[in-house]
């Protein structure tokens, strides 16, 4: 198999070739290494391609038998491998056991070959750090790949692997999916176990999953990674059938709520609004009932609630950082944390500014407001991001050292206005690369489902992919293109 052929297949297609004996897992590992060597110097998405990659094994059977995979440098962990959180504070740290996520990855046949970049501690939506530098968007090297799963997204968009690990605590899968032209699902709270160490991190706000290029890979990954484990705080309703079977089932008539107005303080780019409108029209042509909806709560109330939630989450992280630093025998200071993370740490650990009751009440209120507002609809259609990929420099760059802690949280809330709200509600939501801007940048459209109803998202995403296919649209920096 040539490199140009390798990058043309999704993970499901590569696994089928392995099962037919047309290519071996070792050949795919070597092709992934060749792709890495060709494009990674330009995009800086992979910080470590394992020296022992050719010796890595996975199950001989499974949905992704022999398929190369990459791990984000935070969240789900591999025993014995570096996990540095993109931070000098954690430099050289290794995980002492596997997450259930990576046990399932191996059982599916995936070969995890390396780890990808993140912004320090996953704080920002721009993947840049002092430890590892800037990760560049393969569609335009002067623009951000998004974050915090930006390294994984850039690696998949550039063809290093057909899918890669990500996690999403406020848009960290969907932002890079939108900006890098990928499929990025954030599953329902509880769909993918965080065990054995993070079963209910931040009350289920962040979730583990993957970034990929096709809906069938998304469905197959749901089958691989979904399911409870001992010690999980609650068991979400399980699907009626494998998600791959949903790909051949009818969608039925759906009630669709469409968000055409901004849900935060960043204005909606006209091209993004046009993309939402064209997708809504497409769904209407498919026979669905489409209705424009207002924001689930007023801008002032939403901002107040989201800032309390962000403050509460950073307060929880402050305790974790202090415990980790103490265990490692390291200090938290300007030599170990980047400026904005140090500011957030010092600000949010102040006991006079944090009240646990207010944090929990903000979570409850936002869930209630959103739940009441969107209950009449089977799915929602929103922008993933209010703009296409932004340049590396500017107020939102990772993270702007001139901002105070409160200014950073306000900027975060403004830019990721359609994303973090569904981390709080726990609903599944997926960014689909349905449109391109006039300049050729991807524009992601978000489809949000009812809690626990990934099946409907799979069917709707399949319909949209068939009606408006995107696999022929390729990033300008892509392995095997020469």
DSSP codes joined into one string, 235-262 = -PPPPSS-HHHHTTS-----EEEEE-S-
Q: Which of 87, 144, 148, 226 is catalytic?
A: 148
Catalytic residue at 72? yes
Q: Name the nearest CA neighbour of 294 among 373, 362, 375.
A: 373
The candidate with the shortest Cα–Cα distance to 122, out of 148, 144, 146, is 148
User: Residues 63, 124, 172, 178: which is the catalytic one?
Assistant: 172
Q: How many CB atoms lie within 10 A of CB 479?
A: 23
Active site residue 352: no
For 326, residues 6+ apart whose C-beta sits below 8 A from its C-beta are none
Burial class of 64 by CB neighbour count within 10 A (0 to 12, 13 to 18, 19+): buried
What residues have CB less than 8 Å from 132, skipping those under 6 apart? 44, 47, 86, 117
CA distance 176 to 472: 19
Angle (CA) 160 182 447, round 5°: 155
DSSP designation for 231: T
Token pair in block for residue 189: 């709270």
Encoded tokens for 254: 């759906």
Q: What backbone phi and psi angles, to 5 degrees, belong to 184?
A: -135, 105
Exposure string for 94-109, b = 16+ CB within 10 A, e = fewer: ebeebbbbbbbbbebb
Report the first-to-last Cα separation within the chain, whole angstroms. 16
Residue 439 known to be catalytic: no
Among 15, 443, 66, which residue's Cα sits nearest to residue 216? 15
Q: Which residues are catalytic?
A: 72, 148, 172
């Amino acid at each position: 198999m040539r490199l140009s052929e390798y990058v043309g297949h999704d993970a499901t297609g590569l696994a089928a070739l392995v099962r037919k004996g047309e290519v071996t897992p070792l050949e795919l590992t070597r092709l992934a290494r060749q792709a890495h060597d060709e494009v990674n110097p330009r995009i800086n998405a992979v910080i470590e391609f394992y020296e022992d990659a050719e010796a890595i094994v996975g199950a001989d059977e499974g949905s992704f038998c022999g398929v190369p995979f990459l791990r984000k440098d935070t969240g789900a962990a591999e025993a014995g491998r570096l996990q540095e959180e993109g931070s000098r504070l954690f430099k050289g740290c290794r995980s002492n056991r596997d997450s259930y996520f990576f046990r399932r990855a191996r059982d599916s046949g995936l070969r995890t070959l390396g780890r990808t970049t993140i912004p320090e501690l996953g704080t920002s939506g721009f993947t840049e750090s002092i430890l590892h530098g800037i990760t560049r968007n393969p569609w335009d090297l002067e623009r951000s790949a998004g974050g915090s799963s930006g390294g994984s997204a850039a690696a998949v968009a550039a063809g290093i692997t057909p899918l890669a690990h990500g996690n999403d605590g406020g848009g960290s899968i969907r932002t890079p999916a939108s900006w890098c032209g990928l499929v990025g699902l954030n599953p329902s709270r509880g769909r993918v176990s965080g065990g054995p160490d993070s079963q209910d991190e931040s009350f289920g706000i962040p979730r583990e999953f993957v970034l990929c290029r096709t809906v069938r890979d998304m469905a197959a990954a749901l089958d691989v990674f979904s399911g409870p484990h001992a010690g999980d705080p609650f068991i979400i309703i399980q699907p009626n059938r494998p998600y791959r079977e949903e790909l051949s089932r009818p969608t039925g008539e759906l009630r669709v709520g469409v968000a055409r107005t901004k849900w935060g303080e960043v204005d909606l780019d006209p091209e993004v609004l046009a993309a939402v409108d064209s997708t809504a029209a497409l769904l209407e042509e498919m026979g669905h009932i489409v209705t424009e909806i207002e924001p689930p709560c007023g801008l002032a109330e939403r901002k107040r609630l989201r800032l309390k939630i962000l403050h509460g989450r950073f307060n929880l992280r402050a305790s974790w950082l202090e415990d980790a630093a103490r265990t490692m025998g390291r200090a938290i200071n300007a030599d170990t944390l980047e400026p904005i993370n140090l500011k957030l740490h010092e600000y949010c650990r102040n006991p006079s500014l944090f009240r646990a009751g207010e944090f929990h009440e903000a979570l409850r209120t936002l869930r209630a407001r959103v739940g009441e507002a969107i209950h009449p609809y089977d799915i929602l259609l929103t922008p993933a991001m209010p703009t296409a990929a932004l340049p590396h420099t500017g107020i939102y760059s990772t993270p702007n050292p001139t901002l105070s802690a409160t200014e950073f949280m306000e900027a975060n809330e403004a830019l990721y206005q359609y994303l973090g709200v569904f981390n709080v509600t726990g609903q599944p939501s997926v960014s689909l690369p349905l449109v391109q801007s006039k300049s050729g940048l991807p524009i992601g459209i978000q489809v949000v489902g009812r809690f626990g109803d990934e099946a409907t998202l799979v069917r709707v995403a399949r319909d949209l992919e068939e009606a408006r296919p995107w696999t022929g649209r390729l990033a300008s920096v892509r392995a095997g293109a020469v």
